[in-house]
Amino acid sequence: MTHLVANDLIIFMDNQKVSVHATRKFGRGVFADRFIKKGELIAAFDGPIFDEDYEPWTRDMYNHAIQFGRAIWRDSKGMARLINHSCEPNCGIKALFKVVAMRDINSGEQITWDYEMTEKNLHWKMKCKCGNKNCRGVIGNYSNMPLEVRKKYKGHISEWLTSPSTKAKTKIRPKLIKKSI
């Protein structure tokens, strides 16, 4: 994983051990091309930042940007936005924007994370089709995540959801993309 620094923000490049391929169920997905060690950074949400007043929200943005505060979301310029959900993921979220391997991942495995690791939006939901034995059926708000799942994911849930105040604790003062008048 490499990164560049621009305007005091770190911009991550996608891990060179992963690539995008067609999936049987979900359109495109991200897959490991080589062995990935637990703790390796896979990708990051490093794209535009949007608040709830941004217009026009598109279906694509609504389904791919991750929430990192009560009314603020961030998209990815790279593969992070193409990583599919699973109720038995091999990756999780570190800090606010980093997708990190929660376990060793073998070549050929699809890279997945649990979308409830970042979301507290009462309006967003999706029917889960992961097919895992522990599939929760509907994915949406972090509040829906069972306590035993939260314990299993400890250290891999967006810090804005796990901090006592449930507010993003970030030093980033984003320049929001606003509706032009």
Residues forming a β-bridge with 50: 73, 177
| Three-state secondary-structure class, residue 152 | helix
The pairing of strands 49-51 and 138-139 is unpaired
User: For residue 3, is pLDDT > 60?
Assistant: no
Look at residue 54 in the predicted model and tell me its pLDDT: 85
pLDDT category of residue 60 using cuts at 50, 70 and 90: confident
Q: Do the beta carbons of residue 10 and residue 63 sit within 8 Å?
A: no
Whole-angstrom distance, CA of residue 131 vs CA of residue 109: 15
Tens of pLDDT along 23-46? 888 789 999 999 999 999 999 999
Residues forming a β-bridge with 44: 98
Show Cβ contacts of residue 105 under 8 Å, excluding neighbours closer than 6 positions: 32, 35, 36, 90, 91, 111
Token duo for residue 136: 């929760």
pTM above 0.85, yes or no: no
* Among 69, 66, 127, 139, residue whose Cα is nearest residue 97: 66
Q: Which of 11-15, 35-39, 49-53, 171-175 has the lowest mean pLDDT?
A: 171-175
The pairing of strands 84-85 and 110-113 is parallel
User: For residue 138, is pLDDT > 60?
Assistant: yes
Look at residue 69 in the predicted model and tell me its pLDDT: 93
Q: What is the mean pLDDT of residues 125-141?
A: 92
Which is more confident, 113 or 169? Answer: 113
Cβ-based burial of 131 (10 A; exposed 0-12, middle 13-18, buried ≥19): exposed
Q: Do the beta carbons of residue 46 and residue 78 sit within 8 Å?
A: yes
Report the Cα–Cα distance between both ends of the chain, in Å, rounded: 39
Tens of pLDDT along 144-170? 999 999 999 999 999 999 987 654 444
pLDDT category of residue 10 using cuts at 50, 70 and 90: low
Look at residue 5 in the predicted model and tell me its pLDDT: 42
Domain positions in the chain: 3-162
Look at residue 174 in the predicted model and tell me its pLDDT: 45
Look at residue 13 in the predicted model and tell me its pLDDT: 74
Residue found by looking up tokens 């929001």 in the block: 176
CATH fold group of domain 3-162: Beta-clip-like (2.170.270)
Whole-angstrom distance, CA of residue 48 vs CA of residue 65: 9
Q: Do the beta carbons of residue 139 and residue 130 sit within 8 Å?
A: no
Look at residue 30 in the predicted model and tell me its pLDDT: 96
